[in-house]
Amino acid sequence: MKIRRVAPLPAVVLVLTTGCASADAGGADDLADLTLQVGDQLAGAQPLLEAAGELEDTPYEIEWSTFTSGPPLLEAVHAEAVDIGQVGNTPPVFAAAADSDLRIVAAFDANPDGSSILVPEDSDLSEPADLAGTSVAVAKGSSAHGHLLGVLSGEGLELDDLDVNFVQPSDALASFSEGRVDAWAVWDPYVAQAEHQADARILVNAEGYSNTYNFQVASEAALEDPVREAAIEDYVQRVHRALEWSREHPDEYAEVWSEHSGLPVEVTRAAAERRQPTPRPIDDDLVEAEQRLADDFAEAGEIPQAPNFGDFVDDRYNDLVPD
């Protein structure tokens, strides 16, 4: 697969020294005047960066916008209302299929339990194949949608073999708690919330069924602007450092995550302990895994045709991935 490589623009040179970014004299002034527009979700970057202390010395301002899931966030990226935002593995597939003006610029992998199909504790469903004929809640175009498709494919089933309810997580939680659906495909912290508040159990996680990549996705317009691109470079490095910090400090991360989300700290702690994120480069293995996901969605008729996923990634920040 071909990875799109774009030469960094020379107008702003970012110098990384003692954990924070600075530029040459003109660039520093430009960054000080910049507001980076960042899209986020309930499982997103703001509480992570705040908990890790990575928001204390940014040479630019950050304006946060929170979305219910990845697809509307990427719509905002395409519309240039957001410069960069964090999503799971599937929203970029739908965005690429729509030929959106965006690029994946950073990635991390996570524990497969963080993406799961849940059933009530007393459910008769015990195996993934038991999903045939059931009703399942899932957010369309989300990473959970990709996980559900992967599980069904692995079991020789199709989406048409289920009653699929496309709903956002807040509505799906109510449906699941009230017994209006048999199962719920979702991601953390909603997995942990359902386990703690709705007596849910994991029927099947993502292991062996789908990749568990999470991405930072930037707009092409932001990457083509030298000052904004410099801010994105600094922001990506902060995210990498915060992810590594969170593996060693789940309790501190959970406290801040709870404050931001309104979820009980026992829920965010369970999600934080389970997550175990690992920053990784944008490489051929990643592109091939996402291409397989795109091909599966096209074959299932969920997108008109599979995009060439290599056209929607940009590896310019690979050298920022921690060893």
List the chain domain ranges. Answer: 14-110+212-320, 112-205
Asked if residue 304 has pLDDT above 50, the reply is yes
Strand intervals (E) in 188-319: 200-205, 213-219, 278-280
- Mention every residue, 6+ apart, whose C-beta is less than 8 A from residue 193: 173, 263, 267
Tens digit of each residue's pLDDT (9 = 90 or more) over 50-105: 999 999 999 999 999 999 999 999 999 999 999 999 999 999 999 999 999 999 99
pLDDT of residue 2: 41
Q: Please state, in angstroms and as integers, the Cα–Cα distance from residue 272 to each residue in 21, 246, 248, 257, following that order.
A: 27, 8, 10, 9
Q: Across residues 246-252, what is the average pLDDT?
A: 96
Give this prediction's pTM. 0.88
Q: Omega of the bond prior to 189 within 30 degrees of 0, cis?
A: yes
d(CA 296, CA 257): 34
Average of per-residue pLDDT across 200-205:
97
* Residue closest to 43 by CA, chosen among 69, 65, 72: 69
**Could you report the per-residue pLDDT of 306-322, keeping only the tens digit for each?**
999 999 999 999 999 99
Q: Could you count the other beta carbons within 10 Å of the beta carbon of residue 192?
A: 26
Its CATH class, for the domain covering 14-110+212-320, is alpha beta
**Cβ–Cβ < 8 Å for 158, 152:** yes
Judge if 14-110+212-320 and 112-205 fold alike in CATH terms. Answer: yes
Q: Which CATH class is domain 112-205?
A: alpha beta
Mind spelling out the 3-state secondary structure of 222-241?
HHHCHHHHHHHHHHHHHHHH
